[in-house]
Amino acid sequence: MRHSLYEADHEDFRQSVRAWLEKEVAPFHDDWERAGIVPRELWTAAGAQGLLGIGVAERHGGGGVRDFRWSCVLSEELVRIGASGVGFGLHNDVVGPYLQDLATEEQQERWLPGFCTGELITAIAMTEPGAGSDLQGIATTARRDGGHWVLNGSKTFITNGINADLVVVVARTDPEAPGSRGLSLLVVERGMAGFTRGRNLDKVGLKAQDTAELFFDDVRVPAANLLGTEGHGFAHLMQNLPQERLHIAVSAVAAAETVLALTVEYVTTRTAFGRPIGSFQNSRFVLAELQTEVTIARTFVDECVRQLDSGDLTATDAAMAKWWTTELQNKVADRCLQLHGGYGYMSEYRVSKAWRDARVQSIYGGTNEIMKEIVGRSMGL
Amino acid sequence: MRHSLYEADHEDFRQSVRAWLEKEVAPFHDDWERAGIVPRELWTAAGAQGLLGIGVAERHGGGGVRDFRWSCVLSEELVRIGASGVGFGLHNDVVGPYLQDLATEEQQERWLPGFCTGELITAIAMTEPGAGSDLQGIATTARRDGGHWVLNGSKTFITNGINADLVVVVARTDPEAPGSRGLSLLVVERGMAGFTRGRNLDKVGLKAQDTAELFFDDVRVPAANLLGTEGHGFAHLMQNLPQERLHIAVSAVAAAETVLALTVEYVTTRTAFGRPIGSFQNSRFVLAELQTEVTIARTFVDECVRQLDSGDLTATDAAMAKWWTTELQNKVADRCLQLHGGYGYMSEYRVSKAWRDARVQSIYGGTNEIMKEIVGRSMGL
Amino acid sequence: MRHSLYEADHEDFRQSVRAWLEKEVAPFHDDWERAGIVPRELWTAAGAQGLLGIGVAERHGGGGVRDFRWSCVLSEELVRIGASGVGFGLHNDVVGPYLQDLATEEQQERWLPGFCTGELITAIAMTEPGAGSDLQGIATTARRDGGHWVLNGSKTFITNGINADLVVVVARTDPEAPGSRGLSLLVVERGMAGFTRGRNLDKVGLKAQDTAELFFDDVRVPAANLLGTEGHGFAHLMQNLPQERLHIAVSAVAAAETVLALTVEYVTTRTAFGRPIGSFQNSRFVLAELQTEVTIARTFVDECVRQLDSGDLTATDAAMAKWWTTELQNKVADRCLQLHGGYGYMSEYRVSKAWRDARVQSIYGGTNEIMKEIVGRSMGL
Amino acid sequence: MRHSLYEADHEDFRQSVRAWLEKEVAPFHDDWERAGIVPRELWTAAGAQGLLGIGVAERHGGGGVRDFRWSCVLSEELVRIGASGVGFGLHNDVVGPYLQDLATEEQQERWLPGFCTGELITAIAMTEPGAGSDLQGIATTARRDGGHWVLNGSKTFITNGINADLVVVVARTDPEAPGSRGLSLLVVERGMAGFTRGRNLDKVGLKAQDTAELFFDDVRVPAANLLGTEGHGFAHLMQNLPQERLHIAVSAVAAAETVLALTVEYVTTRTAFGRPIGSFQNSRFVLAELQTEVTIARTFVDECVRQLDSGDLTATDAAMAKWWTTELQNKVADRCLQLHGGYGYMSEYRVSKAWRDARVQSIYGGTNEIMKEIVGRSMGL
Ligand SMILES: Cc1cc2nc3c(=O)[nH]c(=O)nc-3n(C[C@H](O)[C@H](O)[C@H](O)COP(=O)(O)OP(=O)(O)OC[C@H]3O[C@@H](n4cnc5c(N)ncnc54)[C@H](O)[C@@H]3O)c2cc1C
Ligand SMILES: Cc1cc2nc3c(=O)[nH]c(=O)nc-3n(C[C@H](O)[C@H](O)[C@H](O)COP(=O)(O)OP(=O)(O)OC[C@H]3O[C@@H](n4cnc5c(N)ncnc54)[C@H](O)[C@@H]3O)c2cc1C
Ligand SMILES: Cc1cc2nc3c(=O)[nH]c(=O)nc-3n(C[C@H](O)[C@H](O)[C@H](O)COP(=O)(O)OP(=O)(O)OC[C@H]3O[C@@H](n4cnc5c(N)ncnc54)[C@H](O)[C@@H]3O)c2cc1C
Ligand SMILES: Cc1cc2nc3c(=O)[nH]c(=O)nc-3n(C[C@H](O)[C@H](O)[C@H](O)COP(=O)(O)OP(=O)(O)OC[C@H]3O[C@@H](n4cnc5c(N)ncnc54)[C@H](O)[C@@H]3O)c2cc1C
């Protein structure tokens, strides 16, 4: 299937990203997996390379183009080399839009330049130990005290949690307002008194990605760090979640393509019973089924990207893309691991890492069950 | 998901087709199901309405536009009212291209006007009792005898088999040539001596569609009825099968959309335990999953249609579209039937007919297993 | 896998049943499918053959053995020849226990002899147009009036609905009692004034089985026709549903075995590409998977039958057996139909009938969704 | 479902095993996972506890009972605490039978006492870098030289590969014999010159289990270490593989039960949207489906154990049990991980380890694809 999402410029950018990643990331990622984190220097190097803040205005040091395809290229290239620990996507595509769209000019001046140079690494903290799928259950509170908000509570599973310098924290600023009302976004900065981090969580995969708990103990956040409108936190999240989900879907498709390609190569070289194992009809059918679904997924996600860029992508579309592609990614990784036989179970084989990395995709960004709720609701059910 | 395949003209055409079908087809289709065939008059009425030969040149009485989207509109509208017995699609989209692309000017003049008025109903006969998936096993022979081919053999499962006036028959004209070589296409016409038809086969679904066995006993077919190049029959088939398969995929998606829509309506009105059955989370998830996959299928098939029209659609793409959408159609029909409870098993409920009609789609036009072979082969496996 | 449920006696019985069915049923079942019903004479012939009331006490003309395996043999043999229209199972295994366990001695004397001779064909009527899964929604009422109950309401989807002479009707005798309380069982007899039947419903399969709507318009049912304890109708149903569900599971496994066996035969004789189609690895794997699951299902259902006979079978076990085996039966029929290629879609091929007949099994006797509710509840969820 | 495989004695044994494991294994297994191996002391402690060589004759220090149920109890209890690194099962149930059934009395005297005390840890080495599924491709050779066999080649993926003192090696002793002919079993002992081990392989799961490559470089194996009949190696393997596969199936069912139980507990305590997450119908249905299949699997595997003990278990039965239960184990682990939300992806949660440990089960002991080949062949396909 001929795909036509990208233009020549994007493909040029892909080449330069690929070259940079081959040099700066690929040789070190295994070490970072062992370390459980990527070094801060990678971020500033990426900033220098123009990989951070592609969509941020030029006056703040960004790329100045709001075209989601550049982000997609970057995500895809990271995925292709298995660089699952490098949290640029969260920074650019998930946190970025909050800062670009909700921050005041003053805030933008404070934060965006560092965002683009890689000196300010970002994170977003919604989930709490007791509130994941159900954001209405958020218990972190921020009480107004003069020119500050006094923040108390804890967050968990926060991507870039150790490295982050700026954390967009969802907190309850109006304790009276029921459910999702009364939430606001506060930007907590590294070094604020009372803001501590838990350990870097040990995960099944995404080994090089720092994921952590964050604790807020009477953290005094200046009122000037309120992001967006007080009490509109939930609406702000709803506004940005489609892009976060599409970002996940884009990486899911790229991951599926990657593992499928390397498996096709594996099964054409590995032999058993005197034949390439890819020549057994079962292998052929399994791979043909996966190839079909990956092709279909690519077509759909490409269309979603177009519609995101044209402002047409609905929350329902994003939910569809998120659950379906991540389920597919997991299926592809699983079937491909099986086709590797015993080698598939060895950590040194890329397919085994792909399988472990894939598993979280159907969980974060809103679980796939929550995605089905969203789709179901859109059908009037 | 916003879909953008059709333009305003196509939508206008859709309205007129819909109106015509509501008047000429919908009220009678049940009778035709009982009769096992649609009346010839329907064909001439459709011809008069401009529904036959949309892609045929105007000088031969056709619509003069080779844009597959018109055919899609017609297929979709037929599907939407469950008019599974009306074989216009086979005529227009499957047989049509053979006549348009391979027929000599003389042949076009002889056949295309009747093709467009509906006076000449067409069929294509590849399958034999002993050769379905494997066209290389075709045993029907045509021996050259002066200005004629002497045709012997039999064909089975031929759509429009009873009504057809012109049958494109695949026959072996070179008995020496191995496998797929040596096949040619001959147009057999109603009334030729030695050409007889078996009974109208009793099928699980598509009850109003006449499907029959055809017998050729020393039928003398004039040499002028050879279609395309002698010995190139297999290549001609390969050329046209992608469009046939995409035609099936288009109808599969339309059928899935239709049954899904009527089921959503059913589950929002039917209650159990004091609630609409669509409000049970299981129903909601099942329907959300189907809605997602149908949306994805639609996006993919739309893209295939675009690529067919631009000449880019590959045999692999068509094979992917065919197996995946027909499997989906079956899944949708099955799950939707279940959601109807006992009513789903009653013939008077549309979902039960949709379920029966769907089942053949993964079989004809090349079974889904053969489609996977094609995809697998394209991957070098 | 060696199975050991049956003893020599059961196998002898199987032989005689098989011989009888070959003679009395197999040659005529196609006609009955067209007629939509089996003749009453079949019932009396079966009675004479000792096939009805196997578990009924000898003093009432029955077989006098409460060993569910005899019923299983009969069900299996009916299934093996595709005699899906013959409602002995419902009579023996579903309605029988109500009469045997709940009827007073006087009632038993009135009804059981005819039950065993086949002169009194039975049915059970729970479902109503507005209440299927949710029996608490039953709206049929019986108001006490002296020595009678005055019955009003309607039932639908009643198996043996046209032929039945005795119908166990679930009615609300206490309009005040909430939900499932206040239901009782009344035996309505052919000929009672105000008791009429709707048309024989046209179904997707089970074509020879009469399924009908029943209407009760001020039917005066004698108090002596109350079955079991007034107000305990729901408890009585709960008591008997496990056996009904196991009966369905037994037939599901037999059906799956049958269609699998005939398909194995088909694929070893049908050839394509110069080889039996069963020799393609995909066919082999599909059939090996089905064979495995059918073997596993047989082992499980055998164990359930043993536990039913020993009084250990729980409602949960029966629910598990019911949903899993009927889903399997449908899967087997579907995959086997596909392996028949175009022939699988022809009514004259047994696999197509098996596919149509299978579909209802996941719906009646409590839908598979309701079965999962039961299992889930047993897990404390 | 009431299960009846075990008798009171087995249950008593279970209690003592459980107590021992709680004390000797559970507190240390995490350390062993980090170490990649279990200490040899565990083996001798197990020997002292009577856990090794249960089926070995008493005169050689064993338990003297060939009743596979004792092994099952041990396997189940290991699985229940997640002690996936403890290779007693391979020792007892996979290697044991070779020594018991094929060793000469002299060999038994040499090896079985140490086998039972845990001083001689065993392994079996079939797989080679170039030959896994296809044992006919074995390239390791043993050339006869006087009273010795001179062994050359390498093996990979060998369980207990680092700890093993005795390795049953499959080697080609007759280079002329084609395919599976000409293979023999040789027992290679720790310390033999030319026998070296590669590194302990880094795997996705089974982290505490030492899996290694073995190298044989002109190892002189005394002729007295030939196990069984020269040239009958393949037949010997075929004889023992069913028990190996059933052993895997037993552990698969126990693992599935374990993860299911802990997930049921999790979902009844974790809340979202103000309700236990297990109360959402989707959770309930998923868990009910898994509970059903695990129950069915248990019933089937129990029956296989009975038939193994009575000598009736066929290679086909074992193949069915192996593929179906391991696929189920993986499905259960996957669905249960999902139900844990983000916590399921954290290494400290048992479900994540269960998921990683499960994955290999469909690969070793003969891949599930090979199992389907075996079943298919038994059907004459
Ligand atoms: C590696 C990783 C990185 C992450 N990064 C971030 C981050 O950067 N920032 C951040 O804020 N969060 C992050 N998360 C958290 C993530 O978004 C949550 O884990 C996720 O939303 C699920 O919440 P939970 O873990 O509390 O699961 P729960 O909400 O407890 O859900 C448990 C299970 O119940 C199901 N469930 C819940 N509600 C329903 C329902 N109504 N119907 C049916 N099923 C239901 C869920 O689908 C799930 O299967 C991350 C998580 C991981 C694992
Ligand atoms: C309603 C209906 C209408 C039809 N209309 C027409 C028509 O108009 N014109 C026409 O020419 N034909 C028509 N057909 C025929 C149809 O195209 C064939 O039925 C189909 O191609 C399959 O061929 P077969 O039935 O001979 O199945 P077979 O070729 O016998 O196949 C049997 C099974 O084996 C499988 N199989 C075969 N080869 C392989 C392989 N290499 N690997 C794995 N599996 C394999 C198949 O997938 C199938 O499951 C129609 C059929 C039906 C049912
Ligand atoms: C051929 C045939 C023979 C029959 N014979 C008899 C008979 O002899 N006697 C008799 O009394 N009945 C009989 N029945 C009726 C049968 O038992 C009911 O059809 C069945 O119980 C389902 O009820 P319903 O049709 O009203 O479906 P509904 O209850 O309307 O259910 C519709 C859908 O909603 C789903 N649903 C309902 N509740 C829930 C829930 N809580 N959670 C999730 N999903 C839910 C169902 O699973 C189903 O998919 C027969 C039916 C058929 C088709
Ligand atoms: C943790 C672990 C422990 C192990 N322990 C031992 C041990 O103690 N001793 C030992 O001898 N071995 C052991 N093994 C090896 C194991 O038995 C093999 O890995 C397994 O048999 C598969 O062989 P392979 O890895 O060479 O895969 P391959 O044979 O290369 O297979 C690759 C893929 O091709 C498929 N395939 C192969 N042939 C066919 C066919 N005809 N049709 C369709 N598909 C086919 C396979 O199913 C698989 O998906 C272990 C492996 C692991 C991972």
Close Cβ partners of C93 (under 8 Å, ≥ 6 residues apart) = C68, C71, C75, C243, C244, C247
Mutation target to probe the D interface, by most D beta carbons within 10 A, among B275, B283, B285 is B285
Predicted confidence at residue C3, as pLDDT, reads 94
Instruction: Provide CATH 1.10.540.10 ranges for chain B.
Output: 8-120
Give the whole-angstrom CA distance, residue B139 versus residue D239: 48
Compute the distance from residue D210 Cα to the ligand 4 centre, in Å. 17
CB A231 within 8 A of CB A183: yes
Pocket test for ligand 1, best of D273, D283, D349, D352 (most atoms within 8 A of CB): D283
Convert the pLDDT of each residue in B161-176 to its tens digit.
Answer: 999 999 999 999 998 9
Point out the residue among D156, D205, D342 whose CB comes nearest to the CB of A132.
D342
Predicted confidence at residue C55, as pLDDT, reads 94
Give the whole-angstrom CA distance, residue C11 versus residue C69: 10
Burial A188-199 (b: 16+ CB within 10 A, else e): bbeebeebebee
Backbone angles phi, psi at B132, to 5 degrees: -115, -80
CB B360 within 8 A of CB B204: yes
Indicate if the pLDDT at residue C181 is higher than 90.
no
**Alpha carbon separation from C378 to B291, C13, C242, D213, D268 (Å, rounded):** 32, 37, 14, 48, 13
Point out the residue among A137, A274, A363 whose CB comes nearest to the CB of D345.
A363
Tokens of A307: 């519609």
Give the whole-angstrom CA distance, residue D265 versus residue D249: 24
Compute the distance from residue D72 Cα to the ligand 4 centre, in Å. 24
- Alpha-carbon dihedral of residues B213, B219, B220, B221, nearest 10 degrees? 10
Give the whole-angstrom CA distance, residue D89 versus residue D111: 17
Convert the pLDDT of each residue in C1-37 to its tens digit.
Answer: 999 999 999 999 999 999 999 999 999 999 999 999 9
Indicate if the pLDDT at residue B180 is higher than 90.
no
Burial D357-378 (b: 16+ CB within 10 A, else e): bbbbbbbbbbbbbbbbbbbbeb
Residue nearest ligand 4's atom 16 by CA: D364
Cα torsion B300, B301, B306, B309: sign: positive
User: β-pairing, B141-145 with B148-159?
Assistant: antiparallel
Whether domain C235-378 has CATH 3.20.20.210: the reply is no
**Given the residues B77, B244, B293, B327, the one annotated as active site:** B244
Told to judge if D244 belongs to the known catalytic residues of this protein, a careful annotator would answer: yes
Helix (H, G, I), strand (E, B) or coil at A58: helix
Name the strand (E) or helix (H) holding B325: helix B315-339
Tens of each residue's pLDDT in chain A, 381 residues? 999 999 999 999 999 999 999 999 999 999 999 999 999 999 999 999 999 999 999 999 999 998 999 999 999 999 999 999 999 999 999 999 999 999 999 999 999 999 999 999 999 999 999 999 999 999 999 999 999 999 999 999 999 999 999 999 999 999 898 878 899 999 999 999 999 999 999 999 999 999 999 999 999 999 999 999 999 999 999 999 999 999 999 999 999 999 999 999 999 999 999 999 999 999 999 999 999 999 999 999 999 999 999 999 999 999 999 999 999 999 999 999 999 999 999 999 999 999 999 999 999 999 999 999 999 999 999
Convert the pLDDT of each residue in A170-221 to its tens digit.
Answer: 999 998 988 788 999 999 999 999 999 999 999 999 999 999 999 999 999 9
Instruction: Provide CATH 1.20.140.10 ranges for chain B.
Output: 235-378
CB D82 within 8 A of CB D354: yes
Q: What spatial distance separates the first Cα and last Cα of chain C, rounded to whole Å?
A: 35
Q: Which residues line ligand 1 (CB under 6 A)?
A: A 123-127, 132-133, 157-159, 203, 206, 211, 360, 363-364, 366-367, 369-370, 373; D 270, 272-273, 277, 280, 282-283, 338-339, 341-343, 345
Give the whole-angstrom CA distance, residue C233 versus residue C185: 5
Backbone angles phi, psi at B191, to 5 degrees: 95, -10
CB C254 within 8 A of CB C246: no
With tokens 């997930």, the residue in question is D263
Q: Binning pLDDT at 50, 70 and 90, where does residue B236 land?
A: very high
Predicted confidence at residue D178, as pLDDT, reads 81
Q: Is C201 in the pocket of ligand 3 (CB under 6 A)?
A: no
CB C172 within 8 A of CB C207: no
Give the whole-angstrom CA distance, residue C31 versus residue C24: 13
Point out the residue among A289, A312, A379 whose CB comes nearest to the CB of B288.
A379
DSSP string, A207-227: TTS-EEEEEEEEEEEEGGGEE
- Burial category of A257 from C-beta neighbours within 10 Å (exposed 0-12, middle 13-18, buried 19 and up): buried
Q: How is domain D123-231 classified at the CATH fold level?
A: Butyryl-CoA Dehydrogenase, subunit A; domain 2 (2.40.110)
Chain B contact present for A307, CB below 8 A:
yes
Instruction: Provide CATH 2.40.110.10 ranges for chain C.
Output: 123-231
Q: Binning pLDDT at 50, 70 and 90, where does residue C142 land?
A: very high
Q: Binning pLDDT at 50, 70 and 90, where does residue B332 land?
A: very high
Q: What spatial distance separates the first Cα and last Cα of chain A, rounded to whole Å?
A: 35
**Given the residues C77, C128, C213, C244, the one annotated as active site:** C244
Q: For residue A216, give the amino acid letter.
A: F
Determine the average pLDDT of the residues in B123-133.
97
What residues of A act catalytically?
Answer: 244
With tokens 């196990």, the residue in question is D227
Could you give the angle at the alpha carbon of B178 between the alpha carbons of B175 and B180, nearest 5°? 100
- Select from D207, D123, D188, D195 the least CA-distant residue to D159: D123
- Please list every residue in chain B whose beta carbon sits closer than 8 Å to the beta carbon of residue A376: 284-285, 287-288
Give the whole-angstrom CA distance, residue D356 versus residue A355: 10
Compute the distance from residue B360 Cα to the ligand 2 centre, in Å. 10
Pocket test for ligand 1, best of A157, A159, A360 (most atoms within 8 A of CB): A157
Chain D contact present for A360, CB below 8 A:
yes
Give the whole-angstrom CA distance, residue B6 versus residue B301: 12
In this prediction, does ipTM exceed 0.90? Answer: yes
- Please list every residue in chain A whose beta carbon sits closer than 8 Å to the beta carbon of residue D137: 272-274
CATH code for residues C8-120:
1.10.540.10
CB C259 within 8 A of CB C332: yes
Tokens of A92: 């650019």
- E strand segments, chain B: 122-125, 141-145, 148-159, 166-172, 183-189, 195-200, 211-222, 226-227, 271-272, 275-276
Q: Binning pLDDT at 50, 70 and 90, where does residue C180 land?
A: confident
Q: Binning pLDDT at 50, 70 and 90, where does residue D180 land?
A: confident
Here the contacts of C189-194 (C-beta below 8 Å, separation 24 or greater) are C189/C165, C189/C225, C190/C164, C190/C165, C190/C166, C192/C219, C192/C220, C192/C221, C193/C218, C193/C219, C193/C220, C194/C151, C194/C218, C194/C219, C194/C220
Determine the average pLDDT of the residues in C53-72.
96
Give how far D371 is from chain A: nearest CA, Å. Answer: 13
Helix (H, G, I), strand (E, B) or coil at D159: strand
Give strand pairing partners of B124: B168
- Alpha-carbon dihedral of residues C83, C85, C87, C88, nearest 10 degrees? -20
Mutation target to probe the B interface, by most B beta carbons within 10 A, among D282, D283, D286 is D282
Point out the residue among B157, B205, B345 whose CB comes nearest to the CB of C359.
B345
- Select from C38, C7, C169 the least CA-distant residue to C98: C169
Give the whole-angstrom CA distance, residue C14 versus residue C16: 5
Name the strand (E) or helix (H) holding D182: none
Q: Is C206 in the pocket of ligand 3 (CB under 6 A)?
A: yes
Chain A contact present for D369, CB below 8 A:
yes
CB A361 within 8 A of CB A329: yes
Pocket test for ligand 2, best of C277, C337, C338, C355 (most atoms within 8 A of CB): C277
Q: Is C364 in the pocket of ligand 3 (CB under 6 A)?
A: yes
Give the whole-angstrom CA distance, residue B271 versus residue B289: 21
CB C37 within 8 A of CB C162: yes
Give strand pairing partners of D171: D184
Convert the pLDDT of each residue in A34-58 to its tens digit.
Answer: 999 999 999 999 999 999 999 999 9
Predicted confidence at residue B179, as pLDDT, reads 78
Identify the weakest region by mean pLDDT among B45-49, B179-183, D88-92, D194-198.
B179-183
Tokens of B331: 């899944």
Close Cβ partners of C19 (under 8 Å, ≥ 6 residues apart) = none
Predicted confidence at residue C381, as pLDDT, reads 94
Give the whole-angstrom CA distance, residue B170 versus residue B125: 6
- Please list every residue in chain A whose beta carbon sits closer than 8 Å to the beta carbon of residue C280: 281
Q: Is B330 in the pocket of ligand 2 (CB under 6 A)?
A: no
Give the whole-angstrom CA distance, residue B63 versus residue B76: 19
